A and B are shown apart, each in its own frame.
Chain A
Amino acid sequence: MSPSDTFMGTATPPTVAVTKTRPFYWSVRRELWENRSIYIAPLAAAGVVLFGLVIGAFHLPTKALSQLAALDPTKQAEMLSIPYAIAAAAIMVTAFVVAVFYSLGALQSERRDRSILFWKSLPVSDLTTVISKAFVPLVVLPIVAFAIMLATLVFMIGVSAVVLPMNGLPPTLLLSTFPLLKTTVVLAYLLVVFTLWHAPIWAWLMLVSGWARRATFLWAFGPPLVLCVFEKLAFGTAYLAGLLHYRLTGAVKEAFAASDHTTDMHQLDISQLDPLKFIFAPGLWLGLLVAALLFAACVWQRRYRAPI
Chain B
Amino acid sequence: MACIEARGLRKTFGGTVALDGIDLRIETGRILGLIGPNGAGKTTALNAILGLASYEGELKVLGRDPWRDRDELMRDVCFIADVAVLPRWMRVSQALDYVAGVHPRFDRAKAEAFLAKTAIQRTSLVRSLSKGMVTQLHLALIMAIDAKLLVLDEPTLGLDILYRKEFYDTLLNDYFDHSRTIVVTTHQVEEVQHILTDLMFVNRGRIVLDCSMEAFEQRYAEVMVTPEQLPAARALGTPLHERQVFGRSILLFDGVDRKALAAIGEVRSPSIADLFVAVIGADAVPAKGVAA
CB of A306 within 8 Å of the partner chain: yes
Known: A3-B179, A7-B179. Is A115-B85 also a contact (CB below 8 A)?
yes
- Which residues of B85-107 are within 8 A (CB) of A? 85-91, 94, 97-99, 101-105
B-contact bits for A250-284, CB 8 A (1 contact / 0 none): 00000000000000000000000000000000000
Bound Cα distance A27, B82 (Å): 22
Bound Cα distance A114, B142 (Å): 17
CB of B78 within 8 Å of the partner chain: yes
CB of A110 within 8 Å of the partner chain: yes
Q: Which of A6, A27, A114, A121 contacts B179 (CB 8 A)?
A: A6
- Which residues of B148-189 are within 8 A (CB) of A? 148, 177, 179-180
Whether B80 and A121, one on each chain, are in contact in the complex, defined by CB atoms closer than 8 angstroms, is yes
Q: Which of A18, A22, A114, A125 contacts B85 (CB 8 A)?
A: A114
B-contact bits for A14-27, CB 8 A (1 contact / 0 none): 10001100110111
Chain B positions within 8 Å of A27 at CB level? 102
Chain B positions within 8 Å of A110 at CB level? 87
Chain B positions within 8 Å of A123 at CB level? 71, 74-75, 102-104
Chain B nearest CB from A131 CB (Å) reads 13
Chain A positions within 8 Å of B99 at CB level? 122
Chain B positions within 8 Å of A25 at CB level? 101
Whether A14 and B94, one on each chain, are in contact in the complex, defined by CB atoms closer than 8 angstroms, is no
- Which residues of A200-225 are within 8 A (CB) of B? none
Bound Cα distance A115, B126 (Å): 12
Bound Cα distance A26, B71 (Å): 17
Bound Cα distance A122, B80 (Å): 10
Whether A124 and B88, one on each chain, are in contact in the complex, defined by CB atoms closer than 8 angstroms, is no
Chain B interface: which size bin?
Answer: 35 or more
Whether A23 and B102, one on each chain, are in contact in the complex, defined by CB atoms closer than 8 angstroms, is yes
Known: A120-B52, A121-B80, A121-B142. Is A3-B148 also a contact (CB below 8 A)?
yes
Known: A11-B104, A26-B101, A124-B102. Is A118-B138 also a contact (CB below 8 A)?
yes
Grouping DSSP codes into helix (H, G, I), strand (E, B) and loop, the B interface class, with mixed when no group exceeds half, is: loop
CB of A71 within 8 Å of the partner chain: no
A-contact bits for B129-141, CB 8 A (1 contact / 0 none): 0000000001000
Chain B positions within 8 Å of A26 at CB level? 97-98, 101-102
Whether B105 and A115, one on each chain, are in contact in the complex, defined by CB atoms closer than 8 angstroms, is no
Bound Cα distance A23, B78 (Å): 16
Closest to A33 in B: B94
Chain B positions within 8 Å of A115 at CB level? 85-88
Chain B positions within 8 Å of A232 at CB level? none
Known: A34-B89, A121-B79, A125-B71. Is A306-B52 also a contact (CB below 8 A)?
yes
- Which residues of B102-121 are within 8 A (CB) of A? 102-105
Closest to B72 in A: A123
CB of A72 within 8 Å of the partner chain: no
Whether A118 and B1, one on each chain, are in contact in the complex, defined by CB atoms closer than 8 angstroms, is no
Known: A19-B104, A22-B102, A124-B102. Is A118-B148 also a contact (CB below 8 A)?
no
Chain B nearest CB from A81 CB (Å) reads 40
CB of A67 within 8 Å of the partner chain: no
Whether B105 and A11, one on each chain, are in contact in the complex, defined by CB atoms closer than 8 angstroms, is yes
Chain B nearest CB from A27 CB (Å) reads 7
CB of A97 within 8 Å of the partner chain: no
CB of A182 within 8 Å of the partner chain: no
Closest to A14 in B: B104
Whether B82 and A33, one on each chain, are in contact in the complex, defined by CB atoms closer than 8 angstroms, is no
A-contact bits for B223-256, CB 8 A (1 contact / 0 none): 0000000000000000000000000000000000
Bound Cα distance A116, B98 (Å): 15
Q: Top 6 nearest A-B pairs by Cβ distance? A: A26-B101, A115-B87, A117-B81, A3-B179, A125-B71, A123-B74
Q: Which residues of A contact B (CB under 8 A)?
A: 1-3, 6-7, 10-11, 14, 18-19, 22-23, 25-27, 29-30, 33-34, 110, 113-118, 120-125, 303-304, 306-307
Query: What are 9 residue pairs bridging A and B, where the CB atoms are less than 8 Å apart in the complex?
Result: A6-B177, A14-B104, A26-B97, A33-B91, A114-B85, A115-B87, A116-B85, A121-B79, A122-B103
Q: Which residues of B contact A (CB under 8 A)?
A: 1, 28, 50, 52-54, 70-71, 74-75, 78-82, 84-91, 94, 97-99, 101-105, 138, 142, 146, 148, 177, 179-180
Q: A118-B87, A120-B50 are in contact. List 11 more A-B contacts (CB 8 A).
A: A1-B179, A6-B177, A26-B98, A26-B102, A34-B87, A34-B90, A113-B88, A118-B138, A121-B80, A122-B99, A124-B74
